[in-house]
Structures are given as structure tokens and as C-alpha cells.
Amino acid sequence: MKNISKKLAAVAFVLGASSAPALAGKGGSAAQINDAVRSNSVDAIIAEVERAESLICEECVPTMINLTEDSRYPVREVAAWWFAKRPGAKAIMVSQMKDDLTGADALHVRNAADFVGAVLDYTALPQLRLAIKRTGLTADAKLAIVRAVGLMAHIDGNGILLQAMSDEDATVRAAAIVAWRDILGQTDVTPVVGMLNDADAKVRAEAATLVGSYGNRAARETLENLVVNDKDPFVRRNAAWALGKIGSVASTQALVTASKDTSGVVSGYATAALANLK
């Protein structure tokens, strides 16, 4: 994180401006948080940070900033949550995280994306949009950007997810499909229909679930092909479920064939889907 000493001082000033005593709050202390960090236990760290929800604690700031850069997402998430409870400190951190999204290395892009996502800072969407287009990012960094957009669930994040759907890493493409489903007010799943032919089975399976949940009839024929011919049983299962949600009688033959699938899960979903056709 750039200018970390400056940001430490700024956050500490904001927290220290309160007249409350250093250990005021519902519980916890800097010492207890530090003990939890030394234990290296995710559960212990989360428990102590949550106990310090209302703690006015200037001496906690360095530890909490360090936790926003922890290698484990649940720890980074709870650290962001702690800052979200302190609007002044959160604003300072968000400003730095925005800078990191567009100018720092891949590791700090990951951490920054997770921070702005966890605190639901929608003003960071432009920086996330720039970040996803950067070259040299790791899959973890891009996954964090997608995760942030999914958490924000804002329709303005669609462009970011579209970029992620074309990523060379299949885990990023699959995550973008899942996040697309979580966007509030989402109505158009046309971009996901093309993902039904993705080279990766996980991506095809996620795409089938999404287009099925929206009852997208434009995907029917592709789903019928998948339910009968795809090599992956999870793709065939999800395709069967999706065809049941679409509910077109034109899918009867494909589902009858799938009801005899060698996978019991696939045949069961296909049989259930047949009952939904009209």
C-alpha cells in the first residue's frame, strides 16, 4: 500500500479525535486483537475484531491495516468490516484503495478490490472498471474485482463482469457469471448464453444455471444439446434443470433421452424437468 505511514497517521488522527477512552466499546482491546493475530487462527481473529466493533482504539490501526493485506480473504473481509464501522477512517482507506486499484501491483489490487467490495463503496466502480482491464494481474486479483462487483450488486458493474467473462482464466469467467446473477435489477442474460459453449465445464455449468433461472428461451437449443451430449455430468445436470425452468415442450425429446442418462443425478433432474414442460 502506497504512503502507508501517511495513511496510518491520517486514520489514527480520525480515530484519536474522539474523546472516548481507548478501551471504550462493547469489548475487546488492541492487545486481544494482536494476540489473536499471533495465534494465526482465522476464527480467533474474526472473533476479536468483531468484539471490537465499537472500540475507539488508535493503537489498533496498524494491526487492522495489516489485516486488510492478509493472505486469507475472511481476514481481509473482517478488517474491512471494522473500518466500515468508522466512517472517517473508512473514507481514508477507500481513497488509498482506489489508488491501489489503478496503480499498485496485483497483490495490492486484490486487497484493494476486496476492501471496497466488503465496505460496499460504489464510488470505486470506475477504478474497478479500469483495474479489470490492466495487464499483468493475477487470477486472484481479477477474482477479487469480480467478487467486489458481486457484493455491490450494482447494475453499473455489468461492464466489469463482461470484461471478466472474456478472461483467459476459467475461474474468473465462472465467477463473473455468478456475479452477473447477483446484480440487482439484472434483466439481460444474453451475454451469458454464449458462455454455454465455453471450453471449461465449470463455466458451462454456471452459464446453464443462470440462463435457466431467467427462463431464457434463446438458450433452449444449446441446452438441449448440452443435456444429451456434454461430457461433464454437472453440465448435463444443470442443463436439465435449466430446460425445466424454461419449460418448453420442444425440449421433450432431449429430456427423455437425458432421463436415461448413466448418471443418476442427471436422469433425476431430467425426469423432474419433463414434468414442467408445457
Q: What is the pLDDT of residues 71-107, one digit of tens each?
A: 999 999 999 999 999 999 999 999 999 999 999 999 9
* Contact status, residue 179 vs residue 146, Cβ threshold 8 Å: yes
Q: What percent of the chain lies above the pLDDT cut of 90?
A: 84
Q: What is the pLDDT of residue 172?
A: 98
| pLDDT (0 to 100) of residue 13 | 53
Answer whether residue 16 shows pLDDT above 80: no
| Predicted pLDDT at 28 | 83
pLDDT at 118 over 60: yes
Mean pLDDT of 44-54: 93
User: Backbone dihedral region of 70: left (phi > 0), alpha (psi from -120 to 50 degrees) or beta?
Assistant: beta
Separation of alpha carbons 54 and 15, rounded Å: 11
* Sign, Cα dihedral of 55, 108, 160, 176: negative
State mean pLDDT over 146-158: 97
pLDDT at 25 over 80: no
Look at residue 17 in the predicted model and tell me its pLDDT: 47
pLDDT at 14 over 70: no
Mean pLDDT of 204-224: 95
Please state the pTM of the whole predicted model: 0.90
Task: Count the neighbouring beta carbons within 10 Å of the beta carbon of residue 100.
Answer: 22
In this structure, are residues 257 and 228 in contact, taking their beta carbons and an 8 Å threshold? yes
Confidence of residue 15 (pLDDT cuts 50, 70, 90): low
Identify the weakest region by mean pLDDT among 4-8, 96-100, 210-214, 265-269. 4-8
Mean pLDDT over the full length of the chain: 91
Predicted pLDDT at 1: 53
For residue 253, with 0-12 CB atoms within 10 Å meaning exposed, 13-18 middle and 19 or more buried, which class applies?
A: exposed
- Residue 255 binned pLDDT confidence (cut-offs 50, 70, 90): very high
Give 21's pLDDT tier (boundaries 50, 70, 90).
Answer: very low
User: Exposed, middle or buried, 238 (CB in 10 Å: 0-12/13-18/19+)?
Assistant: buried
Closest Cα to residue 117, out of 105, 128, 102, 106? 128
Instruction: Please state, for a pLDDT cut of 70, what percent of the chain lies above it.
Output: 90
Does 203 have pLDDT greater than 90? yes
Average pLDDT over residues 229-249: 97
Residue 148: pLDDT band by 50, 70, 90 thresholds? Answer: very high
